């Protein structure tokens, strides 16, 4: 069990047991380790926790803790790497009610697994910043405002707006993640990862890691988000050229452009 190994390291924290009533949200049920403090970095000889072995990942997590942002380590492979737990979530309320987190805390927090590395944390940090700096709320309002401009009998529905919403959030996070990973790969020959067969930290050539990451994340974007946005834009274009260009402007103003995650590559003719 990962907690037993954690107690043998130089980290401080508490074990959290969360098994809510089945009538409530059970998507986060399980055991967690709530990180409270990291000692000065010294590579972990066991190699089971990437953030204790890789200085780049260690710095990212220590920065979160220093800023008072809760970091939970999952006891299993949920999530893969890292995820952001939204404010108001039942797990958040549980932590507050049991005194693990201050009742005044009103931001999302991070959940990680032992294999969480620096670039997955960058991805989730973009989501975190978008949430607390008002970008998410502003995007919702803009999409809602544009949606009201369609005629009552319009074929454009809420699912079309939702497709654009999630596409923009994920494009921003993946674009920043790939940008940072590319920067690191140019300055370092290897990147630390957890080997899925041994659950130990190993090194991987940075160029190979970057190429695999690009292939995976561009494929993920295409599979889950791109098709819905293209379909929505085609529908909008067919109904109103004026609104079509308003949506295009919103998308252009909202993304983080990068070579791999450019609008031209992802959405083709709409942004060529």
Alpha carbon distance 162, 153 (integer Å): 19
Q: Give the pLDDT confidence of 138-165 residue by residue, as tens digits.
A: 999 999 999 999 998 999 999 999 999 9
Give, rounded to a whole angstrom, the gap between the first and last alpha carbons of the chain.
51
Q: Across the chain, what does the average pLDDT equal?
A: 89
Give the model's pLDDT for residue 90: 87
Give the model's pLDDT for residue 68: 94
Q: Give the pLDDT confidence of 185-217 residue by residue, as tens digits.
A: 888 889 988 887 777 888 899 999 999 999 999
Per-residue pLDDT at 269 exceeds 70: yes
Pairing of strands 109-112, 11-18: unpaired
Residue 61 pLDDT level (bands cut at 50, 70, 90): very high
**Contact (CB, 8 A) for 169 and 130:** yes
Q: Give the pLDDT confidence of 71-127 residue by residue, as tens digits.
A: 999 876 555 689 998 888 888 989 999 999 999 999 999 999 888 999 999 999 999
Q: Give the pLDDT confidence of 1-33 residue by residue, as tens digits.
A: 567 777 767 788 999 998 877 666 667 788 899
Prediction pTM value: 0.92
Domain ranges in the chain? Answer: 1-116, 134-272
Give the model's pLDDT for residue 230: 96
Conformation bin of residue 49: beta by default, left when phi > 0, alpha when psi is -120 to 50? beta
Angle in degrees, CA 36, 41, 45, rounded to 5: 105
Per-residue pLDDT at 59 exceeds 80: yes
Q: How is residue 60 annotated by DSSP?
A: H
Give the model's pLDDT for residue 132: 94
Give the model's pLDDT for residue 121: 95
3-state secondary structure at position 73: strand
Question: Sign (positive/negative) of CA torsion 138, 143, 148, 149?
Answer: positive
Give the model's pLDDT for residue 71: 95
Residue 264 pLDDT level (bands cut at 50, 70, 90): very high
């Amino acid at each position: 069990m990962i907690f037993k190994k954690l107690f043998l390291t130089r980290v401080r924290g508490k074990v959290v047991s969360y098994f809510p009533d089945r009538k409530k949200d059970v998507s986060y049920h399980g055991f967690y380790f709530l990180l409270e403090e990291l000692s000065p970095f010294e590579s972990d000889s066991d190699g089971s926790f990437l953030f204790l072995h890789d200085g780049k990942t260690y710095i990212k997590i220590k920065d979160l803790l220093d800023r008072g942002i809760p970091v939970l380590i999952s006891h299993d492979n949920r999530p893969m790497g890292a995820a952001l737990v939204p404010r108001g979530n039942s797990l958040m309320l549980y932590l507050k009610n049991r005194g693990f987190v201050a009742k005044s805390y009103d931001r999302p927090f991070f959940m990680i697994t032992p294999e969480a590395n620096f670039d997955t944390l960058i991805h989730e940090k973009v989501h975190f910043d978008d949430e607390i700096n008002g970008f998410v709320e502003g995007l919702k309002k803009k999409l809602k405002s544009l949606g009201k401009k369609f005629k009552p009998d319009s074929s454009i529905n809420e699912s079309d707006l939702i497709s654009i919403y999630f596409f923009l959030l994920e494009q921003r996070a993946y674009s920043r993640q790939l940008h940072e990973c590319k920067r690191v790969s140019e300055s370092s020959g290897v990147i630390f990862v957890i080997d899925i067969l041994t659950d130990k930290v190993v090194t991987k050539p940075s160029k190979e890691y970057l190429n695999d990451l690009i292939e995976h994340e561009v494929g993920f974007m295409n599979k889950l988000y791109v098709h819905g946005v293209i379909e929505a834009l085609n529908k909008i274009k067919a109904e109103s050229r004026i609104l079509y260009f308003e949506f295009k402007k919103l998308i252009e103003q909202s993304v983080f452009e990068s070579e791999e995650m450019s609008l031209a590559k992802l959405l083709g003719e709409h942004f060529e």
